[in-house]
Chain A
């Protein structure tokens, strides 16, 4: 299958999910309101904890509000990457469309990529809503941001996280429910990845662990680009680390996924709920 055909199919998945989401308009309004509550919580928390000493310890002398907001908004990309691929298979299994998809002329990697397109699109919108509320109501103005650098960090992060997501989907293909790997990755990343506090406050052992997971580099790079306006020279270490994760994880995840798929074709359990 050529890339134009694959892209056309990914667009078809996006249209399908967009058409389904149009039936749930109130969910969109509620999500926008939920983002407001989240941003407001960070703002008042930061007013409680912020101090000149704390700001000195944060990248580019950012406020704690900006630090936590960026951490929270972009940590979501890890969460969505870990769940989107798995959820697409699970949902297709539940509504029994998986069989119809699998006998079509669309290979499973395209089904996975297509099913993840809309969740990533809505996540990008959600990030904009978070930053929009923060700018509109709470004075978050990243004047010196390197937006191109932030986009590069985001792109490399999605590649690295997608590898983890496809590994997580492989578990779901084989075992159907209860994915301990997903919770372990999310738990460890939340603890040591620097979402709510800088990695530097962690004890030595956890700081080493933080260097072994991609979200640490993603959040460091994103904060450097958005809050400190870092130039490319300062962003390269994060970009390089994320690309190394992607180069290792994506082929590995595809190999594991292909193996998991072969096993379920042997056991006949691919479409089992």
Chain B
């Protein structure tokens, strides 16, 4: 039996409290007491598109950052392609593309092509293959004409697409996106959703896990939605089943209704 593309098992994450003044010096040694994730478990099969939804502070970005190996879980385990993200970070990273939906994170005086070439080499892509992939990916994302412009001259939307191009460049098996269409205009966002769904998930069979506040995007893209509230999973099903279970006309109404109910763990205790 093949292991799921993403497996999250009883994942907990606590952060140290925020200190100010001289006490901030103690932060690296402080006990983590602020809960961000409380025993989250779910799986994403290969080729599946799953959305993380929930209010601000629900734990979506923390979960994505743990999966991206940027932070360590306090307890529990998460794997990407069967590799533990905490103990086998390098092997887990070889499977993933990660984008946070912002327009930052580039060398502003370099051109888009120079930036992409640099990050391609960081992902072990040989120069000739990287140049080919840059042209191909830029074509998909509609930024072919921008490749030789310095990043500092780009609009927010174009810089955002450049971030997506960086995440896709090395053809990752698993794509983690945090609010992938945050700063795209409606037409560009629709184009990007089509690209994600038809090209990257359907045709190439990549696995997609994305956090989003745009519920129409969730309905359009996701096979399943994982609803998080205060670090716990309230629902994990297809958007239509979540709607039916909550007897709500829209996903927004369903999420609002489910979020007001106590979480299953709280019911048990």
A pairs with B: yes
- Interface residues, chain A, CB within 8 Å of chain B? 1, 5, 8-9, 12, 15-16, 19-20, 23, 95-97, 99-107, 174-175, 260, 262-271
Find chain B residues with CB under 8 A from A19 CB.
109-110, 114
Given contacts A105-B94, A265-B70, whether A100 and B166 have CB atoms under 8 Å apart is yes
Q: Binary interface profile of B, 17-59, with partner A (CB < 8 Å = 1, else 0)?
A: 0000000010111101000000000000000000000000000
Q: Which residues of B contact A265 (CB under 8 A)?
A: 70-72
Task: Count chain A CB atoms within 10 A of each CB in B90, B106, B108, B121 and give the residue with the most.
Answer: B121
Are the C-beta atoms of A103 and B28 separated by less than 8 Å? no
- Tell me, yes or no, whether B69 is within 8 Å of chain A by CB: yes
Point out the residue from A16, A101, A260, A268 that lies within 8 Å of B71, measured CB to CB. A268
Q: Nearest A residue to B176 by beta-carbon distance?
A: A103
Instruction: Indicate if B207 sits at the interface (CB-CB under 8 A).
Output: no
The residues in B between 126 and 146 inclusive whose CB is less than 8 angstroms from any CB of A are none
Give the residue name and chain of the A residue nearest to B25 (CB).
A175
Q: In this complex, what residue of A is CB-closest to B14?
A: A266
Q: Which 6 A-B pairs have the closest CB atoms?
A: A104-B122, A12-B121, A96-B104, A265-B72, A96-B105, A103-B98
Question: Please, how many angstroms separate the alpha-carbon atoms of A267 and B30 in the complex?
Answer: 8
Q: A103 contacts which chain B residues (CB < 8 A)?
A: 68-70, 93, 96, 98
Q: Give chain A nearest CB distance to B19 CB in angstroms.
A: 11
Contact of A267 among B32, B65, B109, B110 (CB under 8 A): B32
**Are A5 and B124 touching (Cβ within 8 A)?**
yes
A101 to B166, CA, bound (A): 11
Separation of A15 and B117 alpha carbons in the complex (Å)? 10
Given A95-B107, A99-B70, A103-B69, 12 additional A-B pairs, CB 8 A: A12-B117, A20-B110, A95-B105, A96-B104, A102-B70, A103-B93, A105-B90, A107-B90, A175-B28, A267-B27, A267-B30, A270-B71
Q: Does B100 contact A (CB under 8 A)?
A: yes
A103 to B121 Cα, complex, angstroms: 13
Q: Does B4 contact A (CB under 8 A)?
A: no
> What A residues does B109 contact at CB under 8 A?
19-20, 23
Shortest CB–CB separation between residue B167 and chain A, in angstroms? 9
Closest residue to A21 on the B side, CB-wise? B109
Please measure, in the bound complex, the distance between the C-alpha atom of A270 and the C-alpha atom of B15, giving whole angstroms: 13
Q: Which residues does B use to contact A, with CB under 8 Å? A: 15-16, 25, 27-30, 32, 62, 65, 68-72, 74, 90, 93-94, 96, 98, 100, 102, 104-110, 114, 117-119, 121-124, 166
Output the least CB separation between A190 and chain B (Å). Answer: 26
In the bound complex, residues from chain A placing their C-beta under 8 Å from that of B32 are: 266-267
Contact B28 A105 (CB under 8 A): no
25 A-B residue pairings within 8 Å (CB atoms): A8-B121, A12-B118, A12-B122, A16-B114, A19-B109, A19-B110, A20-B107, A20-B109, A95-B105, A95-B106, A95-B107, A97-B107, A99-B100, A99-B105, A101-B122, A103-B69, A104-B93, A105-B90, A105-B122, A107-B90, A260-B28, A265-B71, A265-B72, A266-B74, A267-B16
From known contacts A99-B70, A103-B96, infer whether A263 and B90 are also in contact, taking CB-CB under 8 Å. no
B105, A100: Cβ atoms under 8 Å?
yes
Closest to B15 in A: A268
A95 near B123 (CB under 8 angstroms)?
Answer: no
Which of B15, B28, B105, B123 is within 8 Å of A97, CB to CB?
A: B105
Complex-state Cα separation, A19 to B112, whole angstroms: 13
A253 to chain B, nearest CB (A): 17
- B47: shortest Cβ distance to chain A, in Å? 22
In this complex, which of A5, A102, A104, A260 has the most chain B Cβ atoms within 10 angstroms of its Cβ?
A104
A79 to chain B, nearest CB (A): 25
Known: A95-B105, A96-B105, A103-B98. A262 touches B72 (CB 8 A): yes
Which residue from B108, B110, B123 sits with its C-beta under 8 Å from A105? B123
CB distance from A186 to the nearest CB of B (A): 21
